[in-house]
Homo-oligomer: A and B are copies of this chain.
Amino acid sequence: MALAYDGAIQRLIDAFNRLPGIGPKGAQRIAFHLLSAPDEEANELVEAIEEVKAKVRFCDICGNVCESSPCPVCADPRRDHTIICVVEEPKDVMSVERTREYRGLYHVLGGAINPMANVGPEDLSIAKLLDRLKTNEVQEVILALDPNIEGEATTTYLSRLLTPVGIKVTRLASGLPVGSDLEYADEITLGRALAGRREA
């Protein structure tokens, strides 16, 4: 017996190991779990993967993932079509939706400007965003990118690009996370919280 598992098991471990956030030990645990799990559980997983790859597409308008284009948000007349919230990835749409504070539309860029990974503005869905702004319907663009270097760079880029268009451009507030300790806040976050202080 070689030091790797029999062919099929090792291939399954390798396949799970390639997924983000799953290491060799975790992949082995999952593989043995599936091995001894009822066939239905493995089938459900297989069908879910195949269904997503077959059905899920990107909304022609906002770029979010959906099963029909335009997506339910873009197609919903009850949403506020005068505001567009710009995010990096489809999962960020979900995060904003979860706040239940936002009733406008979205625009998914598909990433952020990142010179280290060779991602420039031309690789993002920016031309499509500009197209959407041509209709005069949109009055505000909220830049809701990740508060890291790439997100900040993209926010600055989009802010400079959109401000001359004459549309209100806003960005998410920086500050202390709710429920956190002042003591453990990093100095940049605390600095931003100070700079952005408001009347109590």
Contacts and interface: CB of A to CB of B under 8 A. Distances in A.
Contact of A51 (B11, B18, B50, B55): B11
A contact patch SS: helix
A28 B89 CA distance: 12
A47 B165 CA distance: 50
Interface string A1-13: 1010111110110
Given A9-B65, A33-B19, A73-B1, A50 B46 contact: yes
26 contacts: A3-B98, A5-B94, A6-B56, A6-B65, A8-B51, A11-B48, A11-B51, A12-B49, A14-B48, A15-B44, A19-B30, A19-B33, A19-B34, A21-B22, A21-B30, A22-B22, A22-B26, A28-B91, A28-B94, A29-B91, A31-B52, A32-B89, A35-B52, A35-B90, A42-B49, A42-B52
Given A21-B26, A94-B5, A39 B53 contact: yes
A20 interface: yes
Contacts of A60: none
B97 A1 contact: yes
Interface of A: 1, 3, 5-9, 11-12, 14-16, 18-22, 26, 28-35, 39, 41-42, 44-46, 48-53, 55-56, 65-67, 71-73, 76, 89-91, 94, 97-98, 100
Contacts of A18: 41
A150 B133 CA distance: 65
Contact of A34 (B11, B29, B49): B49
